[in-house]
Amino acid sequence: MPDYQAPLRDLRFVMDELLDYPAHYARLPGADEATPDVVAAILEEGARFAREVLLPLNQSGDREGCLLEGGDVKAPKGFKAAYQQYVEGGWPSLAADPEHGGQGLPHSLAMVLNEMVCATNLAWGMYPGLSHGAADALRHHGTDEQRATYLTKLVEGVWTGTMCLTEPHCGTDLGLIKTRAVPADDGAYSITGTKIFISAGEHDLADNIVHLVLAKLPDAPEGSKGISLFVVPKFLPDEQGNPGERNGVVCGSLEHKMGIHGNATCVMNFDGAKGFLVGAPNKGLACMFTMMNAARLGVGIQGLGLTEASFQNSLAYARDRLQMRALDGPKAPEKPADPIIVHPDVRRMLLTQKAFAEGGRMLVLYTAQMLDIVEQGQDSAEREHAESLLGLLTPIVKAFLTEVGFEATNEGVQVFGGHGFIQEWGMEQLVRDARITRLYEGTTGIQALDLLGRKVLMSQGESLKVFTKEIHRFCQAEEGNSEIAEFVRPLAKLNKEWGELTMGIGMKAMSDREEVGAASVDYLMYSGYVTLAYLFARAASTAKAALAEGTDDMAFYTAKLNTARFYFQRLLPRTKAHVAMIQAGAEPLMAISAEDFGLGFEI
């Protein structure tokens, strides 16, 4: 069975030394309880729960899967008991508003714990995961009555929530949905339609499931402007707020999937189900984006968690597995062969995983600070700045960290060789589970269009300038620091190139809109690599300062510098290929007609 130890030392480095979370929390109103001692205790207990409770259920849940009987779904053995422990421990309410039963701690702290959950049992983590987004949507857009009925139960974890968007004939293009909402005499609505790919749509972990459903009113405008949002509970709450009459919503079937077998991915049939309008009519998409943005950050953390899990188990195997001798002579002459960690190519795979785990953690925690400020900050200018950065970074967190997360888990299998292909080691499950992260909550292609088209070009590059100016200020401040010139100089060059590249795409797009779609994925990946380079350069500066001052943890800071060097010298050059592909433009993609794609075989 795979093992896992929460990377608490690296978390402390990023939170305390790199990003100064203690000072960050001190500035947040209502975050008084998030003292260093309290944060440390929460992280240690979260690490224990993830390793001792969730990790042992990961492989068994994958093999057992979920069971559908008469419209009711049973999660794998142990999942319900683990969820009860999770609720009893107060984990669901950690970062929620005390007004609704939450503990009022910063959102960033919950995101740190989410990494541990995703690293140990991604399928289980999806049951409570979407509840946070459902609660946010109701908090921001629900009526007082809706908040009183549903919000506290969702916050406490007694009930769970879902997001019901996708239909059999449409995914991302939600303007095509066919689910209908017909007004009833009592002010409610009758919801009829079918939704697919609904994570945790039906299960036995909680007493009730609160579905947030996109549907169209009879007089709705065509397209996405005619979408409304409804809250549709599995059981209609009675006068005391407890689950009462069963609503007209049922799981029709479970999807047979490549991975995340322990999570119920459902086809949900709404047959005259009673629903209640959330927000204004025909404004449902804006309401749902509250959930979707939170979910996208969560999926990026899934990519990070799986990267860390793959790295830890690859490292343990590489230290133990004996095969051949090092090319420059035996490293373990007392043994029949050397451990494979001595071989350069194995080190390349390990360092790739390590760099993406450490870089991804810095990116998630940096973005989490922006989320804290947006949600709790008091200064309007600071909130506006953070919101701009959060909007820019969200598609990068979601898409870049899942793309490199999938790469990392594949490298993990490769380190194990043939044993990685065998089920008992658990490495192949990481690959299967990681594959969905590049798809749900918007594919990499959709995130790329959001980044380049909506966030950058539609703002005339203003959102990007907010971030590149920050990088520029860092490079200027460190310009005379010869100790980290190896990081600052290439970063400054890339930062300048980022703006020029963006301008070039924008100029081409003025005469051919296809240029945006042709460039978008390469642009997103380029952006991800440069963003991580900025954070690694800051980490190198912090590590250098610690070494100069003298420290008892020389090995940690030296390894941090060496990982940054590996990233800059072996991974960051990938930006050159992305630039070349962007500059090749749309013509190589659009030159061949749709009819000519299949030349050479008959369909």
CA distance 106 to 101: 15
Question: Is residue 200's pLDDT more than 70?
Answer: yes
pLDDT over threshold 90, residue 48: yes
Q: Where are the domains of the chain?
A: 288-449, 461-584
Residue 266's φ and ψ, nearest 5 degrees, are -115, 150
Q: What is the rounded CA–CA span in Å between residue 103 and residue 565?
A: 41
Rounded Cα–Cα distance for residues 105 and 501 (Å): 40
Q: Which pLDDT belongs to residue 9?
A: 98
For residue 330, the SS3 value is coil
Q: Model-level pTM greater than 0.85? A: yes
8 A C-beta contact, residue 535 and residue 490: no
Checking if the pLDDT of 171 tops 80, the result is no
CATH number of 288-449: 1.20.140.10
Q: What pLDDT score does 30 carry?
A: 81
The whole-number pLDDT of residue 185 equals 92
**Mean pLDDT over the full length of the chain:** 96
Question: Each residue of 319-375: pLDDT tens digit?
Answer: 999 999 999 999 999 999 999 999 999 999 999 999 999 999 999 999 999 999 999
Residue with tokens 């200027």: 476
Instruction: Categorize the per-residue pLDDT at 170 as very low, low, confident or very high, splitting at 50, 70 and 90.
Output: confident
* Strand bridging mode 265-278 / 228-233: antiparallel
The pLDDT value recorded for residue 142 is: 95
- 441 part of the active site: yes
497, 579 Cβ separation under 8 angstroms: yes
The reported pLDDT for the residue numbered 403 is: 98
DSSP string across 169-211: TBSS-GGG---EEEE-TTS-EEEEEEEEEEETSS-SSSSEEEE
Q: How confident is the model over 53-57, as a mean pLDDT?
A: 98
Q: Which two tokens stand for residue 452?
A: 């380049």
Burial letters for 330-346: b for 16+ Cβ neighbours within 10 Å, e otherwise? eeeeeeeebbbbbbeeb
pLDDT of residue 286: 85
pLDDT at position 561: 98
Quick one: tokens of 518? 């042709």
Range list of β-strands (E), 423-527: none
Q: Which two tokens stand for residue 261?
A: 């077998």
The label of the residue with tokens 């909402």 reads 181
List the catalytic residue out of 441, 462, 470, 587: 441
Mean pLDDT to the nearest integer, 96-103: 92
pLDDT band at 292 (very low <50, low <70, confident <90, very high): confident
Of residues 405 and 133, the one with the higher pLDDT is 405
- What span, in angstroms and rounded, lies between the C-alpha atoms of 518 and 452? 11
DSSP-based helix, strand, coil % in the chain, nearest 5: 60, 10, 25
Q: Count CB atoms within 10 A of the CB of residue 75.
A: 26
pLDDT at residue 174, rounded to an integer: 75
> Cα separations (Å) of 140 from 106, 119, 473, 531?
17, 30, 35, 30
Q: Which pLDDT value is given to residue 603? A: 60
pLDDT score recorded for residue 290 = 79
Over residues 468-491, the pLDDT tens digits come to 999 999 999 999 899 999 999 999
Residue 402 DSSP symbol: H
Q: Render pLDDT for 405-460 as a digit per residue (tens, 0 to 9).
A: 999 999 999 999 999 999 999 999 999 999 999 999 999 999 999 999 999 999 99
